Structure 1
């Protein structure tokens, strides 16, 4: 009778240990993915404000990624068109550098981050650049092992 109770206790202890170990391993894996996605978003922000082509290229899918850009007529939005990141990265990185005073006032806040099966994610961010505040919705995908922004919509 005592043998049976000891076996049950050992079995239960082992199950609890394995469950805890599995959960902590999964949590650690998810935390690493969150950190990698945050790094991609920070590369976008830092690349944008510092006009850094290499950081922007690290952040965006420069082969197929797109951003929805408003089509304006008489200062009203009448639709949207896709602009490829490969062209936008060139444009953003060749803009005039921001002053040190402006750079000090720039800020990034990640408002929301959702990850699905460590393959794709969406993020809502707030970017303050000089006197402009952007709210971006980003779609991210893991491409060749790296998180890349594949689509972006925004409001000012």
Structure 2
């Protein structure tokens, strides 16, 4: 079961990465639980958004793909215990060097992102 959960989480993160990189809002939205909250630290400035606000921002910007960026996003680590998981990601894009920490929960046999915190590191 652990290997199956790892595979499912990796698939979710692939969809998350592709949603961000290609600006695919439908794919990205399906990754999130309806009550997800997003908090970040970007060059010392607080970033706080609901999923709706975050998705609107992604929809209204040029995607990394549209800007001819090279896909460099990767999973750094996955920690699963029962029906909860923590995932650490490296998400370099749009001139930023982001690191994401995602909280996931398995609800009705489907993994969803319930919380996203991130920072930009110079």
Q: 1:100 to 1:131 in 2, by over 3 A?
A: closer
Q: Decide which of 28, 35, 50 is 1:56's aligned counterpart.
A: 28
Alignment deviations for residues 80-135 of structure 1 (CA, whole Å, 9 cap, x no partner):
56421122122212322433631xx1212111110011x11001110122432211
Q: Greater strand share, 1 or 2?
A: 2
RMSD: 2.1
Q: 1:76 to 1:134 in 2, by over 3 A?
A: closer
Q: 1:76 to 1:116 in 2, by over 3 A?
A: closer
Q: TM-score normalised to the size of structure 2?
A: 0.84
Q: Which residue of 2 aligns with 1:45?
A: 17
Q: 1:94 to 1:111 in 2, by over 3 A?
A: same
Cα distance in 1 for partners of 2:59, 2:21 equals 9
Q: Greater helix share, 1 or 2?
A: 1
Alignment deviations for residues 33-79 of structure 1 (CA, whole Å, 9 cap, x no partner):
10110111111110011110111012111x21001134x8xx744xx
- SS state at 2:61 partner: coil
Cα distance in 2 for partners of 1:90, 1:143 equals 25
Q: Which runs of 5+ in 2 are unaligned?
A: none
Given that 1:106 and 1:127 are in contact with CA atoms closer than 8 Å, whether structure 2 keeps it comes out as: no
Q: Which residue of 2 aligns with 1:13?
A: none
- SS state at 1:101 partner: coil
Matched, 1:90 2:56: yes
Q: TM-score normalised to the size of structure 1?
A: 0.68
